[in-house]
C-alpha cells in the first residue's frame, strides 16, 4: 500500500510542472476571451505555441503529453452533460434528418476532396468531422480515434486553428447571408445550428438575430454534437478492423478504443433522465470546458510553427471546401426540401 502511494506521488510530481503550464495558459486564454472577446480555443493555441520550447525537453514534457491525451479524452466525455434526448426530440424530424444527412455527407466529401488535393485519408476524415460536427471539440475527439502519429498531431492542430477561424468568420457573415434569402428566425436558427462549426459561435450568431433563432440554433447544434460519439466509434472500429486485417494491430500508430465516446453517450443518456442536479450538471460542463482548453493549450505547446507552415495551401483548401460544401448543402435542403 505504501509502495503504491509513493508511486502515485512520484507520478504526480512528474506530471505537475506540465499540468501547471497547460492550465496557466488555459487561464490566460480564458481571461483574454472574457475581457477582449474572441475564441478562447484560438487564444489557448496561440499562447501555447509561444511555449513550444518547453515540449522539447525538461520537466514539463510528461505533463504536457498527459494533458494533450488523457485530459483531452476526459473533457470530450464530459461534453455529454450538455445534451439531452429531450432537446433532440424537440426539434422534430426535419432538422434531425437534415443534420444526419449533412454530417454524413460532409465527412464523405472531406474524404474525397482530401484525396483529390493530395492529402491523406485521415486528414480528410479529421477535417470533415470537425466541420460537420462541432469544430475544435470534434477535431480533438476524432483525432483520438485515428492512428496516433506525429503527422496526426500536426494535422489536428491545423484543423483546430482553421475551424476556429472559419467559425468566427461564419458567426459574422452567415446571419447576413441567410437573412438575404428571406428566412424566418426559425429557418435562420436551423441553418446557423447546422452550419457553423463551434458551439460558442453558433450561440453568438443565433442570439444576435433573436432569442428564438438563438434557442433553435443551439438545439440544432447540440444535435450535431450528439453525432460525435457515433462517428468516433465508427472510425475507431473501422481503423481497428483494418489494422487487425492487415496484421498491424500492434503498431504504435493504431487507434485505441474510444472509451471517451462511450462515456459521452452514457452521460448524455443519464443527463436525459434529469437525475443529475443542475449544480452538478453545470460543474461537469465547466470541467469539460477547462479540460478541453487545457488540452488545446498542450497541443499548442507541442506545435512547431515551422511544421505548420510546411503544410501548404492544399491543407487550407480542403477545410475551406468542406465549409462551403456544408453551408451550400444545408441551405439547399432548407430551401427546397424543408421549405422553412
DSSP 153-195: HHHHHHHHHHHHHHHHHHHHHHHHHHHHTT--HHHHHHHHHHH
pLDDT of residue 254: 46
pLDDT of residue 251: 41
What is the C-alpha separation between 122 and 185, in angstroms, rounded? 37
User: Which whole-number Å values give the CA distances from 297 to 40, 48, 49, in the listed order?
Assistant: 10, 5, 8
The grid cell for 331 is 441551405
Residue 34 CB neighbours (<10 A): 10
Residue 108 CB neighbours (<10 A): 14
- Whether 326 shows a pLDDT value over 90: the answer reads yes
Which pLDDT tens digit goes with each residue over 188-231? 999 999 999 877 678 768 877 887 787 788 778 878 888 888 89
In this structure, of 5-14, 51-60, 134-143, the range with the lowest mean pLDDT score is 5-14
- Whether 146 shows a pLDDT value over 90: the answer reads no
**Angle made by CA atoms 199, 200, 204, in degrees to the nearest 5:** 120
pLDDT of residue 31: 93
pLDDT of residue 245: 65
What is the C-alpha separation between 263 and 270, in angstroms, rounded? 10
Q: Model-level pTM?
A: 0.69
- Whether 249 shows a pLDDT value over 60: the answer reads no
Residue 215 CB neighbours (<10 A): 18
What is the C-alpha separation between 239 and 229, in angstroms, rounded? 15
In this structure, of 60-74, 196-210, 237-251, the range with the lowest mean pLDDT score is 237-251
| More confident position, 147 or 312 | 147
% of the chain with per-residue pLDDT over 90: 22
pLDDT of residue 253: 45
Amino acid at each position: 500500500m505504501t509502495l503504491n502511494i509513493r508511486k502515485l506521488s512520484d507520478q504526480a510530481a512528474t506530471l505537475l510542472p506540465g499540468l501547471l503550464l497547460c492550465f496557466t495558459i488555459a487561464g490566460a486564454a480564458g481571461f483574454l476571451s472574457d475581457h477582449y472577446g474572441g475564441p478562447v480555443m484560438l487564444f489557448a493555441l496561440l499562447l501555447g505555441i509561444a511555449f513550444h520550447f518547453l515540449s522539447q525537453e525538461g520537466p514539463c514534457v510528461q505533463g504536457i503529453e498527459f494533458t494533450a491525451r488523457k485530459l483531452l479524452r476526459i473533457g470530450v466525455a464530459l461534453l455529454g452533460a450538455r445534451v439531452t434526448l429531450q432537446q433532440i426530440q424537440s426539434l422534430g424530424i426535419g432538422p434531425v434528418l437534415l443534420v444526419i444527412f449533412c454530417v454524413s455527407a460532409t465527412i464523405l466529401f472531406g474524404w474525397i476532396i482530401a484525396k483529390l488535393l493530395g492529402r491523406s485519408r485521415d486528414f480528410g476524415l479529421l477535417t470533415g468531422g470537425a466541420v460537420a460536427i462541432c469544430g475544435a471539440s470534434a477535431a480533438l475527439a476524432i483525432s483520438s480515434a485515428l492512428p496516433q502519429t506525429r503527422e496526426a498531431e500536426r494535422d489536428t492542430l491545423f484543423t483546430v486553428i482553421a475551424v476556429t477561424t472559419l467559425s468566427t468568420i461564419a458567426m459574422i457573415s452567415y446571419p447576413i447571408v441567410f437573412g438575404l434569402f428571406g428566412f424566418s428566425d426559425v429557418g435562420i436558427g436551423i441553418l446557423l445550428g447546422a452550419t457553423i462549426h463551434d458551439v460558442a459561435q453558433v450561440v453568438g450568431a443565433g442570439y444576435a438575430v433573436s432569442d428564438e433563432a438563438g434557442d433553435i440554433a443551439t438545439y440544432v447544434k447540440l444535435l450535431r454534437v450528439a453525432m460525435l460519439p457515433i462517428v468516433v466509434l465508427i472510425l475507431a472500429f473501422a481503423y481497428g478492423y483494418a489494422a487487425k486485417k492487415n496484421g498491424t494491430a500492434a503498431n504504435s500508430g493504431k487507434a485505441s478504443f474510444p472509451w471517451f465516446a462511450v462515456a459521452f453517450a452514457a452521460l448524455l443518456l443519464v443527463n436525459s433522465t434529469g437525475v443529475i442536479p443542475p449544480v452538478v450538471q453545470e460543474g461537469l460542463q465547466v470541467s469539460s470546458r477547462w479540460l478541453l482548453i487545457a488540452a488545446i493549450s498542450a497541443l499548442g505547446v507541442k506545435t512547431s510553427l515551422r511544421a505548420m507552415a510546411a503544410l501548404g495551401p492544399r491543407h487550407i483548401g480542403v477545410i475551406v471546401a468542406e465549409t462551403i460544401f456544408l453551408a451550400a448543402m444545408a441551405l439547399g435542403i432548407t430551401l427546397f426540401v424543408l421549405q422553412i
